[in-house]
Amino acid sequence: MSDSIDTAAVAAPVPTGQSGTVVRSTVMRRLLRNPLGIASLVILGSIALLAIFAPVLAPFEENFANITKTLAPADSVNILGTDSAGRDTWSRLLFGAQLTLLSALLCAGVAIAIGLPAGLIAGYYAGKFEAVSNWVVSILMSLPGLIVLLTIRAAFGPSVWISMIAFGVLISPSYFRLTRTAVQSVRNELYVDAARVSGLSDLSIIARHIFSVVRAPIIIQTAAIAGVAIAIQSGLEFLGLGDPTKATWGVMLSEGFKNVYMTPTLLLWPALAMALTIGGLVLLGNAIRDALEDGEKIKHRKKKTVPAESTTADPAKAGQSRKSVAAVEVGTEHHLIKVTNLGVGYPQADGSVKKVVDDVSFHVDRGEILGIVGESGSGKSQTAFSILGLLPDNARIVGGSIQFDGNYTVAPGDDRVSQERLSKLRGKRISYIPQEPMSNLDPAFTIGYQLVTPMVRVLGISKAEARKRALKLLTDVGIVNPERTFEAYPHEVSGGMAQRVLIAGAISCEPDLVIADEPTTALDVTVQADVLDLLRELQQRLNIGVILVTHNFGVVADLCDRVAVMQNGRLVEEGTVRDILRNPKEQYTQTLLGSMLEGKTPMTMLVSRPGSAAQKEPVA
C-alpha cells in the first residue's frame, strides 16, 4: 500500500469527541501563532481602524486649506506638517486611507462577483458555457489594462469608483481561472457523485461540496488583488489622472512628488502608508496559505533525540561505535542481506519518535524468495525502503543494522541509511520493482530511453550496446514486439506491459537482490498470474534473492520460499511457506489466513458470529 494510506491508517486513533468544526478555528489559531500573520493582521487592523474613525481622529477636513501655512514642517497643530495648499497631511492621510481601502475592496468585490460564479458554473458544467467564458476571459486578459483605464477616465471623468470597477472587471479572469481549476479538480470526486445519487440539486452540490474547495484560494487571492488594486489606483493618481478634489494616497504622492525638493516628507507619508498596507496584504496572504497547508511543522532537532524507550540504540554509544564498526560482522558473510533488530521511526511534533518498524530481523540468501506479508500500516514497505535507502528525509533509523553481502548499509548506531554506501549498490546490485507501474515510468520519455540510460550509467557500456541489451531484456520479459515497445511512450502500453518493462529495468544491471513492493497489486488477476510466472522464471534463471512485499497470501503461496508476517511494525512470525500457511502459530497470522475467502462457504459470516456483524472495527 502506498505511504499516504499507511500514514492515514496509523493516524486513525484520535481523541474522541473532537469536533470537526474546529477546522476553521485551527486555521485562525495557526495564523495567530505565525509571527508574520500576527504582524500583518495588526498592521491591516490598525490601518482599517484609522480609516473607519478618520472623521473623528482627523483634526481638519480633508480639503481644509490654511494658505498662510503652506509646506509647514511638523508642529503641535499639524503633526505631520502641511502640503503646498496648506492642508493638514495627517488628516488627508486618514481620509485617504478610507478612500483607498474602500476602492480596493470595491475592485476585489467586482472581480469576485464576476469571476467566482462564472468559474463555478464553467468548472462544474463545462460544455458551452465554459467555452464561451474562456473566450471572454482570453479577450479580457489580452486587453492592455492601463490603456483601458485611461480610456475610461477620458470617457467618464476622474472617478476613483468607476476606474476601480473597470479594474475589477479587467482582473476578474484571475478569479475565474482559479475557481474553474479548483472546481474541475473535485467535479469528478466520488463524493460529488454520491451527492448526485442522493438527489441533491446542482445548486446544493455546489454550495455544500464544491464551494468549500475554492474558499481558501479565493481569500488568499483577494489579499493579493487588493494590494494590486491599491498600487494601480495610486499609480493612476500619481500620474495626475485621479480626482484632485478627493484625498487619496495616490493624489498625496503626486502632490509630494511636485514638492520633493522643498518638503521631502510629503512624499514619505503616503508612500509609507501604501507600503505598509500592500506589504501587510501580501504577508497576510502568505500566512493564510501557510496556515491552510496541513500538518504542523516538526522542529528539526539535533541528534540524540532518540527517546529513552528505544533500547536497541543507545545514542551515547552511537557516536563511538560509528567509526569503530567492523565492515563485516563475523559469521554473517554468507547471507545476501541480513536485517538485524531494525527499527525505523518518525520524529513527531511533540519530540517523541513514532516507530513504524520495531525490532525486525530477517535474512535472505541468493536464489531465495522471502515474502513479507502484512496489512497497511504494518511497516512492510518501510522495511523494504530502508533496505533500498529510500526512506523519506524525516525518517530515522532508531535501532539495528542492515548488511548487504556482508557490508553494512546501516551500521549499528547509524540514524540514517548511508546513501554513500547504498548509491554504489542501488540499481546495480539491489534493484526495485514498484507497485504502480504507470506512475513509475516517466511519461515524457520513451520506454527505450528509460531502460538504456541506467545501463549506460551503471554498467558503463555504450548506447548501442545498451540498446541491444534492452531489446533482449524486453524479449526476456515476454514482450512480443520488443522494437515497438522500445520506441513507445509509457501511455501507449497497458499496465501489465508497463510492469514487464519495469521488471526488465530491475534486472537490467544484473542485480543480486530484487525488492518487489506489491508488484502485482495494481494488475488484473489474469495479468497478475502472467507477471508471477515471469518473476518465478527470471528468479530461477538468474539465481537472485528476492524480497516480495505483499498482502496477498495467494501470491505468497505462488512464489515464496519463506514468509515473514508483520503487524504494527513488528515481525510476528517467520518460517517456511508451508509452515506459515498451513500451521500458523501466531493468533494474528491465523486471523489473516482466516480472512481469506478461498474455501469458505459462500454467504456465511467470515469473522463475526451471525447477528453481530456490526461489531466494532478495532482501532488500528
Q: Which of residues 70-99 bind another protein (CB under 8 A)?
A: none
- The nearer residue to another protein, 67 or 603, going by C-beta atoms, is 603
Residue 597 makes contact with another protein by CB under 8 A: yes
Part in contact with another protein (CB under 8 A); list of ranges 20-28, 317-325, 343-351, 402-410: 20-28
> Could you say which of 519, 553, 569, 589 contacts another protein (CB under 8 A)?
553
- The nearer residue to another protein, 371 or 427, going by C-beta atoms, is 371
Grid cell of 236 as nine digits: 493612476
- The nearer residue to another protein, 409 or 435, going by C-beta atoms, is 435
Grid cell of 110 as nine digits: 467586482
Chain positions 41 to 70 lying near another protein, rule: CB under 8 A, are none
**What SS3 state is found at 51?**
helix
Residue 602 makes contact with another protein by CB under 8 A: yes
Residue 585 makes contact with another protein by CB under 8 A: no
CB 463 within 8 A of CB 456: yes
Q: Please give the Cα distance from 224 to 230 (Å, whole number).
A: 10
Residue 212 makes contact with another protein by CB under 8 A: yes
Half-sphere exposure in the Cβ direction for 320 (13 Å, CA): 4
Chain positions 189 to 208 lying near another protein, rule: CB under 8 A, are 189-191, 193-202, 204, 208
- The nearer residue to another protein, 76 or 198, going by C-beta atoms, is 198
Write a three-state SS string for 512-576: CEEEEECCCCCCCHHHHHHHHHHHHHHHHHHCCEEEEEECCHHHHHHHCCEEEEEECCEEEEEEE
- The nearer residue to another protein, 27 or 390, going by C-beta atoms, is 27
CB 575 within 8 A of CB 395: no
Sign of CA dihedral 436, 441, 447, 450: negative
Q: How far is the CB of 125 from another protein (least distance, A)?
A: 13
Chain positions 390 to 429 lying near another protein, rule: CB under 8 A, are none
Residue 525 makes contact with another protein by CB under 8 A: yes
Q: How far is the CB of 251 from another protein (least distance, A)?
A: 45
Residue 611 makes contact with another protein by CB under 8 A: yes
- The nearer residue to another protein, 154 or 194, going by C-beta atoms, is 194
Residue 376 makes contact with another protein by CB under 8 A: yes
Residue 282 makes contact with another protein by CB under 8 A: no
Give φ, ψ of 364 to 5 degrees: -135, 135
CB 344 within 8 A of CB 400: no
> Could you say which of 86, 279, 554, 575 contacts another protein (CB under 8 A)?
554
Residue 491 makes contact with another protein by CB under 8 A: no
> Could you say which of 465, 533, 537, 586 contacts another protein (CB under 8 A)?
533
Measured in Å, how far apart are the chain's first and last C-alpha atoms? 15
- The nearer residue to another protein, 49 or 596, going by C-beta atoms, is 596
Part in contact with another protein (CB under 8 A); list of ranges 111-119, 230-238, 432-440, 604-612: 604-612
Write a three-state SS string for 311-361: CCCCHHHHHHHHHHCCCCCCCCCCCCEEEEEEEEEEECCCCCEEEEEEEEE
- The nearer residue to another protein, 26 or 453, going by C-beta atoms, is 26
484: left (phi over 0), alpha (psi -120 to 50) or beta: alpha
> Could you say which of 8, 27, 28, 438 contacts another protein (CB under 8 A)?
8
Grid cell of 120 as nine digits: 463555478
How remote is the C-alpha of 598 from its chain's centroid? 39
Write a three-state SS string for 64-102: CECCCCCCCCCCCCCCCCECCCCEEHHHHHHHHHHHHHH
Residue 568 makes contact with another protein by CB under 8 A: no
Q: Which residue has the cell 504542523?
A: 296
Part in contact with another protein (CB under 8 A); list of ranges 74-82, 83-91, 419-427, 589-597: 589-597
CB 123 within 8 A of CB 180: yes
Q: How far is the CB of 191 from another protein (least distance, A)?
A: 4
Part in contact with another protein (CB under 8 A); list of ranges 118-126, 353-361, 441-449, 526-534: 526-534
Part in contact with another protein (CB under 8 A); list of ranges 14-22, 235-243, 254-262, 278-286: 14-22
> Could you say which of 3, 12, 55, 587 contacts another protein (CB under 8 A)?
12
- The nearer residue to another protein, 322 or 600, going by C-beta atoms, is 600
Q: How far is the CB of 173 from another protein (least distance, A)?
A: 25
Q: How far is the CB of 436 from another protein (least distance, A)?
A: 13
Residue 217 makes contact with another protein by CB under 8 A: no
Half-sphere exposure in the Cβ direction for 505 (13 Å, CA): 25
Chain positions 298 to 337 lying near another protein, rule: CB under 8 A, are none
Q: Which residue has the cell 511457506?
A: 577
Q: Please give the Cα distance from 500 to 520 (Å, whole number).
A: 11
- The nearer residue to another protein, 186 or 461, going by C-beta atoms, is 186
- The nearer residue to another protein, 312 or 552, going by C-beta atoms, is 552
Q: How many residues bind another protein (CB under 8 A)?
A: 79
Part in contact with another protein (CB under 8 A); list of ranges 78-86, 186-194, 331-339, 502-510: 186-194
Q: Please give the Cα distance from 599 to 581 (Å, whole number).
A: 14
> Could you say which of 136, 265, 557, 570 contacts another protein (CB under 8 A)?
557
Grid cell of 596 as nine digits: 481469506
Strands 562-567 and 369-373: parallel
Write a three-state SS string for 152-220: HHHHHCCCHHHHHHHHHHHHHHHHHHHHHHHHHHHHCCHHHHHHHHCCCCHHHHHHHHHHHHHHHHHHH
Part in contact with another protein (CB under 8 A); list of ranges 3-11, 285-293, 422-430, 473-481: 3-11
Q: Please give the Cα distance from 523 to 552 (Å, whole number).
A: 13
- The nearer residue to another protein, 291 or 592, going by C-beta atoms, is 592
How remote is the C-alpha of 393 from its chain's centroid? 15
Residue 578 makes contact with another protein by CB under 8 A: yes
- Contact track, another protein, 440-479, x by CB under 8 A: ----------------------------------------
> Could you say which of 23, 260, 272, 275 contacts another protein (CB under 8 A)?
23
